[in-house]
Structures are given as structure tokens and as C-alpha cells.
């Protein structure tokens, strides 16, 4: 496949701007995205408020405490965009490892101090990923076509069976909330 052909794949929508001096392209190989028209900016913000939790880049301990409740596993909760927005499978695993929390821990069992540590870990992991241009595993590219390199920093994601970089224990893998999940039994605790 030539570079031009690769560029042309997964283009779902192309908007022509001005006198075709520029195009805005919605390109989404993973098909997780979507395009939804709103009648006004206010209507868009209103919909976001209903559908999305606080932004993971700035989520506070207070906000996360309010959002995490019930018996479901903390990993499942983090993947729910209504709980915290912007955390996907990779960064959920990385945040839980940094915070030292077992992904199977029930939300209701997390003490306030642990939730505060998790909020800080989410902010740290997401900011680091943004700084490194995201994680290019297969086909992710930034808007300007460049590859991200945050995948080089992954401590657990994709490392099932390898030694933990922090403690040396063999990393465990399982499916949780329908997604591949990797964690360290040595440094991630249940409560």
C-alpha cells in the first residue's frame, strides 16, 4: 500500500473548507469515533455534560470520589466515559498500575486516599501520553499524520507475562469488562 493509499483509507467524512484550499478529514481506523451535528455550541456542551464525566486530564480527587461507586470493578468504571472522560483501555491499565490498585477492586472498597492517588495517576498518565503524541500500536496517527511514541512508556499494557518494571513480578493478564487487562499482583493491591 502506498502512503497515499494508506492516507485515503478509513476516511469517513471530508469537509471542504473555503474554496477547497483545505480539507478537514475525519479518519478513524478503530471506528470508536463518530460525527454528530448539533444546532448550537450550547447544545453540544449540554449533550457532553449529560454523556461525559469529568475530563481525565484535569479530574480531581473530589470528582473521582463522586463518580466511583458501587460494586463494579474499578477498571470497568474507568472505561465508562460517563464516569471519567478520555480514559481508554491502555490508559486505564497504566493509571491503575501507577496508583497501585488491582483492576478488579470494587469501587465501593476504594478508600478516599486511594481514589485521590488514582485521580493523580490518571492525570499524570494522560498528560504524559499527550506529551508523547499518543500511543501508536498499529494505525493510530496524530492529526498531522505523525506516529505517537507513548507506547514506549507502557508499564503494563501489552506486557502480559513479562516482568513488572517496578517490582519484577510476572505481569498477569485477563479479560475484564470485555477488554484485555494487564496488572501486577506484586504492586497492585485489592483495596
- Residues found near Zn ion in the complex (CB under 5 A): 164, 166-167, 169, 184, 186-187
Secondary-structure percent of the chain, ordered helix, strand, coil, rounded to 5:
35, 15, 50
Q: How far is the CB of 4 from Zn ion (least distance, A)?
A: 45
Nearer to Zn ion, 90 or 187 (CB): 187
Q: How far is the CB of 20 from Zn ion (least distance, A)?
A: 54
Q: How far is the CB of 164 from Zn ion (least distance, A)?
A: 3
Phi, then psi, of 6 in degrees rounded to 5: -60, -40
Nearer to Zn ion, 148 or 186 (CB): 186
Sequence-ordered strand ranges (E) for 48-163? none
Q: How far is the CB of 159 from Zn ion (least distance, A)?
A: 11
Nearer to Zn ion, 110 or 187 (CB): 187
Q: What is the DSSP string of 144-176?
A: TSPPP-GGGG-SSTT-TTSBPTTT-PBPEEEEE
DSSP 147: P
Nearer to Zn ion, 74 or 171 (CB): 171
Amino acid at each position: 500500500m502506498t502512503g497515499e493509499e494508506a492516507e485515503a483509507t478509513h476516511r469517513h467524512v471530508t469537509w471542504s473548507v473555503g474554496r477547497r484550499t483545505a480539507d478537514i478529514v475525519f479518519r478513524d481506523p478503530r471506528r470508536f469515533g463518530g460525527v454528530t451535528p448539533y444546532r448550537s455550541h450550547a447544545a453540544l456542551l449540554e449533550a457532553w455534560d449529560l454523556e461525559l464525566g469529568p475530563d481525565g486530564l484535569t479530574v480531581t480527587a473530589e470528582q473521582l470520589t463522586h463518580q466511583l461507586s458501587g460494586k463494579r470493578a474499578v477498571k470497568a468504571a474507568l472505561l465508562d466515559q460517563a464516569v471519567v472522560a478520555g480514559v481508554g483501555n491502555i490508559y486505564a491499565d497504566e493509571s491503575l498500575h501507577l496508583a497501585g490498585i488491582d483492576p478488579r477492586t470494587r469501587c465501593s472498597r476504594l478508600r478516599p486516599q486511594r481514589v485521590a492517588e488514582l485521580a493523580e495517576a490518571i492525570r499524570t498518565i494522560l498528560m504524559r501520553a499527550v506529551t508523547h503524541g499518543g500511543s501508536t500500536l498499529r494505525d493510530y496517527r496524530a492529526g498531522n499524520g505523525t506516529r505517537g511514541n507513548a507506547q514506549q512508556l507502557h508499564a503494563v499494557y501489552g506486557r502480559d507475562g513479562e516482568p513488572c518494571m517496578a517490582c519484577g513480578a510476572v505481569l498477569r493478564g485477563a479479560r475484564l469488562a470485555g477488554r484485555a487487562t494487564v496488572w501486577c499482583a506484586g504492586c497492585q493491591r485489592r483495596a
